[in-house]
Amino acid sequence: MTPQPMQAAVATEAVPLEPDSLAYVSAQNRDVPPAGAGEFAPLAIGPLPVWPPVVLAPMAGITNYPFRALCRDFGAGLYVSEMITARALVERNAKTLKLSGFNPDEKPRSLQLYGTDPHYVGEAVAWLVGENRVDHLDMNFGCPVRKVTRKGGGAAIPARPRLLASIVRAAVQNAGDVPVSIKFRLGIDDDIPTFLDAGRVGQEEGCAAVALHARSAAQLYDGEADWDAIGELKQAVTRIPVLGNGDIWEAGDALRMMRHTGCDGVVVGRGCLGRPWLFRDLADVFDGRMPQVPPRFGEIADIMLRHAGLLADWFGERHGVRSFRKQATWYTKGFPGGPELRSRLTQVNSLGDLEAALATADRDLPFPPEAMRMKRGKKAGRQRVALPEGYLEDRWSDAPPGPEAEDPSSGG
């Protein structure tokens, strides 16, 4: 049977624009029209058609089932799990198994795998596929966290192309018909670019797609993403889709990125934190409609309660609500009185506490236009990338860095 493009779990229809709607469109997107009929094709990741061509970025501690479900309610696309460590999966670590779980209603099931050793990656993929647990696998080669790169993992791996190739090969060979994609950064820093080699490795080793976070590991999440590099990767990788990641804060940004670079789809990370309705906006513009005005605080409060409720159902109320605290600060970012409200929200321990805290705010407050591009998630700042001693002296080595490099604490 021919697979059909993915649809949103809850249909949404664009509403007429309010007179102040342009206040929610930044200067760089004022002249960006919605997609024309047939302008963009569905993203094809192996046998999976994805429309609109939008992927939720894997984010540690964030893209669990509750958040994926919430985003899916607002728009169609592909929603990837938080990063799962291959060795911990092979060893059947209880926490890892829980994090790698999907709800029965999730389809397709997309999981991001992190690994530094071809043996454990191959074993993990074989188990996931053999148990029919996934429909798509993504692999993280972009983690810039110091405690990972200093052991030779994460964003350090593409600096050794043969090691990268052996890990990817192990995944693809054990995946069978399940498509595998890889995600990586520009390189270690400005002097050590690795993204073109990584893209070629992905293509030659049988990946279904590659995704570039257009910042270096040294850059972390600082400054602007280099969209020109996404275009350069698209020119070099011609047989499989290329996805772009970086600075998608508004729906118009996604259109600008694809038109500027020629990439086949976009990956959305920090822009949707506290704003899952960004996926509704993206669905609108790719279907030729202008995005809707953001919800007022009352509707946002209802979304927050649903998000926290899903977390409580998934992890238990105490753990679920406590993990929601950081999410609450993103939902309220930019609102008048936000600091005082956020102070209360960071102390909630139950759904009742959360409901009481939200009841103190004005439900009729409009979404603040200046919050559209407010940075969320990781703080700005650059770093000197830590690597194992002598790591760059033997870049053609394919020796795995060792189990201590496998830390699933952050995404790329």
For residue range 206-233, list pLDDT tens digits in order: 999 999 999 999 999 999 999 999 999 9
At 294, the pLDDT band (50, 70, 90 cuts) reads very high
8 A C-beta contact, residue 154 and residue 386: no
Residues 127 and 249 both lie in one domain: yes
pLDDT digits (tens, 9 = 90+) for 158-206: 999 999 999 999 999 999 999 999 999 999 999 999 999 999 999 999 9
* pLDDT score, position 15: 40
Query: What are the distances in angstroms from CA 255 to CA 34, 54, 127, 152?
Result: 8, 11, 38, 36
Residues 118 and 260 both lie in one domain: yes
Q: Name the CA dihedral angle for 279, 282, 288, 291, rounded to a multiple of 10 degrees.
A: 80
Local structure of 265: helix, strand or coil: strand
Exposed e or buried b per residue across 8-37, where buried means at least 16 C-beta atoms within 10 angstroms of its C-beta: bbeebebeeeeeeeeebbbeebeebebbee
Domain-embedded: residue 20: no
Give me 401's structure tokens. Answer: 């860095």
Closest CA relative to residue 69, chosen from 354, 276, 302, 291:
276
Residues 170 and 311 both lie in one domain: no
Domain end residue (candidates: 346, 366, 386)? 366
d(CA 74, CA 67): 11
Mean pLDDT (the chain) is: 91
DSSP-assigned beta bridge partners for residue 267? 55, 245
Residue type for position 409: S
Residues 277 and 343 both lie in one domain: no
Burial of 235: CB neighbours in 10 Å, binned 0-12, 13-18, 19+: exposed
Residues 271 and 233 both lie in one domain: yes
pLDDT above 70 (res 409): no
DSSP code string of 41-68: PPEEETTEEESSSEEEPP-TTTSSHHHH
Residues 182 and 266 both lie in one domain: yes
Q: What is the CATH number of the domain that holds 270?
A: 3.20.20.70
Residues 342 and 263 both lie in one domain: no
Local structure of 146: helix, strand or coil: helix
pLDDT digits (tens, 9 = 90+) for 73-98: 999 899 999 999 999 999 999 999 99
Domain end residue (candidates: 275, 293, 311)? 293
Packed helices 351-358 and 338-345: angle between N→C axes, nearest 10 degrees: 170
pLDDT above 90 (res 22): no
Q: Is 143 a catalytic residue?
A: yes
Q: What is the CATH number of the domain that holds 343?
A: 1.10.1200.80
The count of C-alpha atoms lying within 13 angstroms of the C-alpha of 101, restricted to the half-sphere facing its C-beta, is 13
Domain-embedded: residue 17: no
DSSP code string of 308-348: HHHHHHHH-HHHHHHHHHHHHHHHTTTSTTHHHHHHHHTT-
Domain-embedded: residue 115: yes
Strands 48-50, 54-56: pairing is: unpaired
At 296, the pLDDT band (50, 70, 90 cuts) reads very high
Domain-embedded: residue 111: yes
* pLDDT score, position 21: 76
Residues 334 and 304 both lie in one domain: yes
Strands 136-141, 180-185: pairing is: parallel
* pLDDT score, position 408: 53
Domain-embedded: residue 228: yes
Domain-embedded: residue 381: no
Residue type for position 399: A
* pLDDT score, position 147: 87
More confident position, 380 or 356: 356
pLDDT above 90 (res 6): no
Residues 207 and 351 both lie in one domain: no
pLDDT above 60 (res 374): yes
d(CA 278, CA 373): 12
Give me 185's structure tokens. Answer: 């950064």
pLDDT above 70 (res 388): yes
Residues 243 and 304 both lie in one domain: no
Strands 78-85, 43-45: pairing is: unpaired
At 20, the pLDDT band (50, 70, 90 cuts) reads low
CA angle 92, 94, 100 (to 5 degrees): 80
Give me 244's structure tokens. Answer: 């772009």
Per annotation, catalytic residue among 71, 143, 263, 272: 143
* Domain count for the chain: 2
d(CA 297, CA 290): 21
d(CA 71, CA 56): 8
Residue range(s) defining the domain that contains residue 109: 41-293
At 410, the pLDDT band (50, 70, 90 cuts) reads very low
Residues 82 and 163 both lie in one domain: yes
Residues 105 and 72 both lie in one domain: yes
* pLDDT score, position 402: 73
* pLDDT score, position 412: 54
Domain end residue (candidates: 273, 293, 313)? 293
Q: What are phi and psi of 383, to 5 degrees?
A: -145, 160
d(CA 53, CA 285): 11
